[in-house]
């Protein structure tokens, strides 16, 4: 019976550790420009203003208001 309690406690502590780690990384990441996916991709290098200019230029070319 004690073995079962120890196994459950170990599983709970492991789950709590991983959830705490995810929360910590989401709010206290070393690289604040990175997104919370943690893939290290180019998510933070998207130029929103350039995208807006591109969208507006294409809409103007099609005559869409």
Look at residue 11 in the predicted model and tell me its pLDDT: 97
Q: Where in the sequence is the domain holding 54, given as residue range(s)?
A: 2-62
pLDDT for residue 39: 64
Kindly report, residue by residue over 41-60, the tens digit of the pLDDT: 556 667 788 889 999 998 98
**CB 44, CB 33: distance < 8 Å:** yes
Query: Quick one: pLDDT at residue 42?
Result: 59
Question: Kind and range of the H or E element at 24?
Answer: helix 2-27
Question: Per-residue pLDDT averaged across 24-28, rounded?
Answer: 81
Count the domains in the chain: 1
The model's pLDDT over 28-42, given as tens digits with 9 standing for 90+, comes to 766 555 565 666 555
Q: Between the CA of residue 44 and those of 23, 30, 34, 37, 47, what are the distances in Å?
A: 19, 14, 6, 11, 8
- For the entire predicted model, the pTM comes to 0.45
- Please give the Cα distance from 29 to 44 (Å, whole number): 13
| pLDDT at residue number 33 | 54
């Amino acid at each position: 019976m004690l073995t079962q309690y120890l196994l459950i406690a170990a599983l709970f502590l492991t789950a709590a550790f991983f959830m705490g780690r995810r929360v910590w990384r989401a709010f206290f990441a070393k690289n604040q420009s990175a997104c919370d996916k943690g893939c290290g991709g180019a998510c933070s290098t998207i130029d929103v203003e350039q995208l807006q200019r591109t969208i507006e230029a294409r809409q103007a070319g099609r005559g869409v208001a």
